[in-house]
């Protein structure tokens, strides 16, 4: 179907550089998620791909052909907007068939295509309604339907779930994943919500300040974040960071002095690090273990019980640390706790915030979602739509 290459794309608005030279490849049938805090440039990048903005410099290629000068409608893309951007004066059917009408497709053929998309999305009973008479979730589906009807080579989604309530968001997430299977299409999805990124993506692109921080599968980003920003951004609750000092560097890893007197050897490549360096130790809340013999300690300030698990907010000298513990722990507020961690689960970051590379790759970190890998390998031909 379609691959997309982005080469050295820069976008400048007046004097501010919103995108600072983006390089990226999107493979055929891949579900790629652009994630980052607001203002990171992810929406601008998507709009450049869509053709709604033009890149200041750099190239865009679809299936190897430069499309910078091609108009948005002729790129073979379809976009689902954050606001859905349904045409309020048209019925659902007319909304979905508008692109075909503009392309001069006959009434009958138009209706068939719309009906097919409506069937996939279970929109049949709503075809005669106007957008005003639809619920948020239904509008969302119409917007997706409008994209499906165009039979695009790449689907673009601009934060499509951010206007839905929490329950509906979970449901639509599942539906989108199902749709990706069913349509077998390349999808690019923008969100600021890392959970959406983790649950749906084959490949996540983390952006910040107009630059790509890291590209990788969800598990790769989770287990091997390349810097402090990605480490903090991916995963919930956020990773904890503790200031530590390097004590010894060896081939088996870096031994660091923990606050409170203990030491621990983290299995990372210590090249470039020296004893005495100030480093930061990163540990996810779920990887901290409550242990009376543990090298770390602090006072519990807040306890959040979610039933299945408990979040403990523990005050140490260097700030508050979050620990995710079992749902049945019996601690109380103001209690003193000791805790530790498995060194293989810890991360080390240098003075610039860059991660020291792990010596062992996590077994899941190379994993693209099983099904999509099979798909790529089988590489079966998708029957051409009759557009």
In 3D space, the residue among 335, 341, 243 whose CA is nearest the CA of residue 293 turns out to be 341
Q: Which of 14, 12, 142 is nearest to 80 (CA)?
A: 142
Asked if residues 134 and 121 have their Cβ atoms less than 8 Å apart, the reply is: no
Structure tokens at 34: 């652009």
Beta bridge partners of residue 78, listed in sequence order: 155
- Nearest distance from C-beta of residue 238 to another protein, angstroms: 25
Q: Which is nearer to another protein, 88 or 125 (CB)?
A: 88
Comparing CA positions, the residue from 364, 371, 361 lying closest to residue 30 is 371
Nearer to another protein, 47 or 180 (CB): 47
Contacts of 116 (CB under 8 A, 6+ apart): none
Cα 180 from chain centroid (whole Å): 16
How far apart are CB 91 and another protein at their closest, in Å?
A: 13
Q: Which residue ranges make up the site for another protein (CB under 8 A)?
A: 13, 18, 39, 41, 43-44, 47, 50-54, 71-74, 77-79, 81-89, 98-99, 102-103, 146, 150
Of 80 and 219, the one with the shorter C-beta distance to another protein is 80
Q: Which residue, 18 or 288, is less far from another protein as judged by CB?
A: 18
For the bound state, the minimum distance from the C-beta of residue 8 to another protein, rounded and expressed in Å, comes to 17
- Residue 376 DSSP class: H
Shortest separation between residue 356's beta carbon and another protein, angstroms: 34
C-alpha span between 380 and 157 (Å, rounded): 25
Please identify, using beta-carbon distances, which residue of 82 and 245 lies nearer to another protein: 82
Q: Give the residue with the Cβ less far from another protein, 19 or 346.
A: 19
Rounded Cα distance, 69 and 8, in Å: 16
Candidates 336, 307, 340; CA nearest to 323 is 340
Question: CB 234 → another protein: shortest distance, Å?
Answer: 23
Q: How far is the CB of 171 from another protein (least distance, A)?
A: 23
């Amino acid at each position: 179907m379609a691959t997309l290459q982005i080469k050295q794309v820069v976008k400048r608005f007046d004097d501010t550089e919103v995108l600072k030279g983006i390089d990226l490849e999107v493979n055929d049938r891949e579900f790629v998620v652009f994630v980052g805090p607001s203002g990171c440039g992810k929406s601008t990048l998507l709009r450049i791909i869509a053709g709604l903005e033009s890149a200041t410099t750099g190239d865009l290629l679809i299936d190897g052909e430069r499309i910078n000068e091609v108009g948005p409608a002729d790129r073979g893309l379809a976009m689902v907007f954050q606001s859905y951007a349904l045409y309020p004066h048209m019925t659902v059917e007319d909304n979905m068939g508008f692109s075909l009408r503009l392309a001069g497709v006959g009434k009958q053929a138009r209706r068939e295509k719309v009906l097919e998309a409506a069937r996939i999305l279970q929109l049949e009973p709503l075809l005669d309604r106007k957008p005003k008479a639809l619920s948020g979730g239904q509008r969302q589906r119409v917007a997706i339907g409008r994209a499906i009807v165009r039979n695009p080579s790449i689907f673009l989604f601009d934060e499509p779930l951010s206007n839905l309530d929490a329950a509906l968001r979970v449901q639509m997430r599942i539906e989108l994943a199902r749709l990706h299977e069913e349509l077998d299409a390349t999808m690019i999805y923008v969100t600021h919500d890392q959970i959406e990124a983790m649950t749906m993506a084959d490949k996540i692109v983390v952006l910040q300040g107009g630059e790509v921080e890291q590209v990788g599968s969800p598990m790769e980003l989770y287990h091997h974040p390349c810097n402090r920003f990605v480490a903090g951004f991916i995963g919930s609750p956020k990773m904890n960071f503790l200031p530590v000092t390097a004590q010894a560097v060896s081939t088996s890893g870096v031994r660091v002095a923990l606050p409170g007197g203990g030491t621990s050897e983290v299995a990372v490549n210590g090249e470039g690090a020296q004893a005495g360096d100030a480093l930061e130790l990163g540990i996810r809340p779920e990887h901290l273990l409550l242990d009376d013999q543990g090298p770390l300690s602090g006072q519990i300030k807040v306890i959040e019980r979610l039933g299945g698990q408990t979040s403990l907010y523990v005050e140490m000298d260097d700030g508050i640390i979050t620990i995710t513990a079992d749902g049945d722990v019996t601690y109380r507020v103001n209690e003193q706790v000791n805790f530790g961690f498995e060194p293989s689960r810890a991360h080390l970051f240098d003075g610039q915030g860059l991660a020291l590379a792990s010596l062992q790759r996590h077994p899941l970190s190379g994993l693209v979602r099983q099904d999509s890998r099979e798909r790529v390998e089988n590489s079966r031909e998708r029957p051409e739509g009759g557009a």
